[in-house]
Structure 1
């Protein structure tokens, strides 16, 4: 049973019963429901843009963090590209030039990727352009690194070969200056000690006492150590590889045997006067690809500039050879 309510009437100075009209009550309820529905609509479709849920806030923070990470990634890629470009420049201008290798063309280093669209799966997102651009830069950077890595592998092989070549080239005087009496004759036209006629002298004659040590002028393998070549007497030939062969003639005796490996500076024999020789001395020749060449150009490994100039001066004199 609903409660009965009264109000005080000041005119009649009495309490009167409040009569509730159903129509008025229905009106109030209708207005309340319409207002509530309108408020709900405004909250859902308009208020949502001003009032974020915790999940929306978390997603926005995550998106902002990802954008920051992309910016940092792009800055790191710029730094990596700068460093790599510097290495590429040095690779072309120094390393490959020194080892006589052709520089790698710029278009080969920075070539893109042909064929199908590698980044199709990244389309359709709000930040697709940023993601695709970053992916392309990373892929190109990785490809340049691979090209540079292969180039450095090639340079390492060339460096190893260059080191072997430098060790193999006959680059020291076969008789030390301490044991040398004089440089008797050089490469060129000389007077023959037996016929007294001018003829080509294909090597250099180092005058030293019998038994003076003779040293290998470069790394290599003993090709011959015998007396089976006319005029040379006891002699040694060293195959240095790369087309170089050195010859040591008129020896007193050997300190090596055929097919033995020797290093530059190893003792290989002793000065003598065997074969077609007028006095104890070492006759020294160098061959390149089967052709005799002047040994005067191959002493950079043992002589100072002053010593070399003196040797050059003596070798240029058209005197008499000793063989």
Structure 2
């Protein structure tokens, strides 16, 4: 039973009954409906801004996956760039030197693309910078590959008439991998085993037991086979022609004599520890036009890609030489 309500009438000085008007209830109902609608709209607006719909979640996942794929692509491009840079260095410093061809300038290899903006269509997006940089790297990498391919075509043409040069180049490792204990020291600054002072080591040291065979790394003529050079002990020098000379030091004994012609792979001596040497090993050097150069670049004739990579890693470690 509903309660009866009264109000005080000051004119008549009496209480009067409050009667309910049908219109007032209807007005309150309409006000409630409007307030509910406004609250629903406000809730949907807030939810739309802070709560993703299934479609938005799917798009965000797709965007995250695309960003991951771009990161993986950039990582693979970095690996390809490193491999290509190594090929380019060998091309300029070895292959083109062999055939007296001018090195390709780095500016030409790494040049971008001038003129119109090739990447304008990629602008205006949230990830435009990332996409544009990736596209630029890919274009430059493609151009570098084209330049290198043309260079190798040129080298191939030059090599067709230079078989004697290729046979003369000291292109194999002078000690067989099966006979090696380890590659003790490479070309570069190393600690001297006697003075402990850091100085430049001009060759490569191959540790092997005394008496291990040593092979000629290229065709040529034995220029020296003696112990008359300070520090080298019993050593051999082979004149290959075309400005190349190879040196094999600290030998136990010789298997060749002065002025003898040798072929690549011929047995010329045996590992020892004569001269300024701390332990049995072969100290090996390569000269080009009277200048010592890094022998690591001249083993393409005897090592697989995996063996070369392992040797390169060991040769770059700065440790103590054996002579």
In the other structure, the counterpart of 2:241 is: 241
Q: Which runs of 4+ in 1 moved over 3 A?
A: 158-161
Q: Counterparts of 1:162-311 in structure 2 under 5 Å?
A: 162-311=162-311
1:159, CA displacement in angstroms? 6.2
> Do the aligned partners of residues 160 and 305 (structure 1) sit closer, same or farther apart at CA in structure 2, a change above 3 Å counting?
closer
Gaps of 5+ in 2: 1-98, 102-157
TM-score, normalization: structure 1? 0.51
Q: Counterparts of 1:138-153 in structure 2 under 5 Å?
A: none
Q: Counterparts of 1:78-97 in structure 2 under 5 Å?
A: none
For residues 276-312 of structure 1, what are the alpha-carbon distances to aligned partners after superposition, in whole Å with 9 as ceiling and x for unaligned? 0000000000000000000000000000000000000
Q: Counterparts of 1:66-145 in structure 2 under 5 Å?
A: none
Instruction: Provide the rounded CA distance (Å) in 1 between the counterparts of 2:160 and 2:269.
Output: 30
Q: SS at the partner of 1:233?
A: coil
Instruction: Provide the rounded CA distance (Å) in 2 between the counterparts of 1:192 and 1:313.
Output: 20
Instruction: Provide the rounded CA distance (Å) in 1 between the counterparts of 2:278 and 2:271.
Output: 13
Instruction: Provide the rounded CA distance (Å) in 2 between the counterparts of 1:210 and 1:238.
Output: 22
1:199, CA displacement in angstroms? 0.3
1:168, CA displacement in angstroms? 0.3
1:236, CA displacement in angstroms? 0.1
> Do the aligned partners of residues 309 and 259 (structure 1) sit closer, same or farther apart at CA in structure 2, a change above 3 Å counting?
same
Instruction: Provide the rounded CA distance (Å) in 2 between the counterparts of 1:281 and 1:159.
Output: 34
Q: Which has the larger radius of gyration?
A: 1
Q: SS at the partner of 2:165?
A: helix
Instruction: Provide the rounded CA distance (Å) in 2 between the counterparts of 1:161 and 1:217.
Output: 21
Q: SS at the partner of 1:193?
A: coil
Instruction: Provide the rounded CA distance (Å) in 2 between the counterparts of 1:198 and 1:256.
Output: 35
Tell me the C-alpha RMSD between the 2 structures: 1.9
